[in-house]
Amino acid sequence: MLGHSYSHDAFLRGCKVIPGGVNSPVRAFGSVACEPVFYDRAQGSRIWDVDGNEYIDFVCSWGPMILGHGDEDVLNAVRAQMKRGVSYGAPCESELLLAEMIVELVPHVEQVRMVSSGTEATMTALRLARGFTGRDKIVKFEGNYHGHSDSLLVSAGSGVATLGIPNTPGVTRATASDTLVARYNDAQSLRRLFEAHPREIACVIVEPVCGNMGVVAPVPGFLQELRELCDEFGALLIFDEVITGFRVGLGGAQEAFGIRADLCTFGKIIGAGFPVGCIAGPERIMSSLAPEGPVYQAGTLSGNPVAMEAGLAQLHKLERLEKSEHLYANLADKAARLAEGLRELSKSRDITTQVNQFGSVLTLFFASAPVFDWTSANASNREHFARYFRCMLDEGIIIAPSQFEAVFVSYAHSDADISRFLSSAKRALEAIAK
């Protein structure tokens, strides 16, 4: 391992005052059998730890740094706003501008409610769906992660899957009983739930492209079948686009797949790395939120002006780069080169892997069969992944410390960065093969 003496000291200090030494379980390195790296600074595609070690960053703060770290357009917007104020707890023009931009870019969206995190966004979307339909039950998919609100921790992915935590400790049986679980990429499993509870299900929430059991794309027709089933049984369809939003394209998954969602949730990218999220949808549903309607939601820091200005700067730049440089196609090309390179490296070393890629995100699974749902993802060899992770860390490549997360490609990643990743992966896979 690279020298991490200050990181080690920081981790020990953290364990005394923070549960597990980290403020989010996905940051723990327990599943890869080492201690977490504490970071000091970041720029472009690079990140440095507190010991001065330099890495190429393919975590990108779990997705939002799609332009890379320290983008000047974003920083200039943040600096200008900080001179005017960092928080008002009151309406400001920048939240209007960001909402207007989301309405303009995302199909079927007429209104937006800003919140401070993806978890808040999905939690509010469920409450809104229940209030709008007058029904209590929700459906989620096994291995999908929608934040840590009580209703959505059942059969969740991300850190819950990584740490092997039982589904619902701390969640009451009554709450858990209102959450029904279907199998991702299996529309018939959803039909069976609807037929068993025909007038009780308020909504179906789904990651249109999974990013929290590793990257798993929908099979052809799956999302369309979800739309048709929700229409048939009178439930709302919610796309959780906290990861896919503005990463698979300016119009998100609704545009990419041509599927209408009744509500969608965004986070991460719309704040350029600042804490932010939002719920978006048509006025006929969104108007049920207070103060216009009876479904209550509030937040002192919702629409924080610094986060709004950062998000505006990022979305404007994404829009410009898409028009001038075909940004999303170029990001997908970089990710495809990584994916194909990993497939070739695995094949030449007689290591059984699966590489799933969609747009600018991908996952290398140490699995013997195609990965298309939670059961197939969970069959992956986690010991192989842990060895792979540690080797990549030694090579100066940062990826997520979990088999069930994604590699994120950013605008700042150069051709040399892609080549460096594959060279490092070659040595990591050779170590596993031996």
**Residues 257-310 pLDDT 10s:** 999 999 999 998 999 999 999 999 999 999 999 999 999 999 999 999 999 999
Asked if residue 84 has pLDDT above 80, the reply is yes
- CA dihedral (332, 307, 37, 408) in degrees, to 10, reads -10
Sign of CA dihedral 141, 32, 23, 174: positive
Rounded to 10 deg, the angle between the 305-325 and 93-105 helix axes is 30
Residue partners of 331: CB distance under 8 A and separation at least 6: 66, 359, 360, 409, 410, 411
Q: Whole-model pTM?
A: 0.94
- Taking a C-beta distance cutoff of 8 angstroms, is the pair 307, 75 a contact? no
Using a pLDDT cut of 90, give the percent of the chain over it.
86
Q: How confident is the model at residue 168 (pLDDT cuts 50, 70, 90)?
A: low
Range from 110-124, 160-174, 267-281, 324-338 carrying the lowest mean pLDDT: 160-174
pLDDT value at residue 23: 86
pLDDT value at residue 431: 93
Q: Is 240 a catalytic residue?
A: yes
First to last CA, the chain: 18
CA distance 409 to 425: 16
pLDDT tens digits along 120-148: 999 999 999 999 999 999 999 999 999 88
Asked if residue 164 has pLDDT above 80, the reply is no
pLDDT value at residue 2: 47
Asked if residue 396 has pLDDT above 60, the reply is yes
Using a pLDDT cut of 70, give the percent of the chain over it.
96
Active-site residue, selected from the candidate residues 49, 57, 240, 373: 240
Residue that the structure tokens 């041509």 belong to: 258
Residue type present at position 310: A
pLDDT value at residue 409: 98
Q: Is 145 a catalytic residue?
A: yes
pLDDT value at residue 187: 98
CA distance 25 to 19: 9
Q: Provide the mean pLDDT of the chain.
A: 93
- Taking a C-beta distance cutoff of 8 angstroms, is the pair 411, 327 a contact? yes
Of 347, 334, 327, 320, the closest CA to residue 414 belongs to 334
Q: How confident is the model at residue 171 (pLDDT cuts 50, 70, 90)?
A: confident
- Taking a C-beta distance cutoff of 8 angstroms, is the pair 263, 248 a contact? no
pLDDT value at residue 313: 98
Mark 2-12 as b/e (b = at least 16 C-beta within 10 Å).
eebeebbebbe
pLDDT value at residue 156: 56
Residue partners of 333: CB distance under 8 A and separation at least 6: none
Sign of CA dihedral 66, 70, 76, 82: positive
Active-site residue, selected from the candidate residues 55, 145, 388, 411: 145
Pairing status of strand 354-358 against strand 39-43: unpaired
DSSP state of 374: H
Range from 154-158, 246-250, 358-362 carrying the lowest mean pLDDT: 154-158
Q: How confident is the model at residue 167 (pLDDT cuts 50, 70, 90)?
A: low
pLDDT value at residue 348: 82
- Taking a C-beta distance cutoff of 8 angstroms, is the pair 244, 253 a contact? yes
pLDDT value at residue 206: 98
Integer CA distances (angstroms), 302 to 101, 218, 276, in order: 17, 32, 8
Asked if residue 57 has pLDDT above 60, the reply is yes
Of 156 and 136, the structure prediction assigns the larger pLDDT to 136
DSSP assignments along 43-94, one per residue:
EBTEEEETT--EEEESSGGGTT-TT-BT-HHHHHHHHHHHHH-S--SS--HH
Pairing status of strand 137-141 against strand 179-182: parallel
Q: Is 296 a catalytic residue?
A: no
Active-site residue, selected from the candidate residues 55, 137, 140, 268: 268
Strand partners, 111: 281
pLDDT value at residue 329: 98
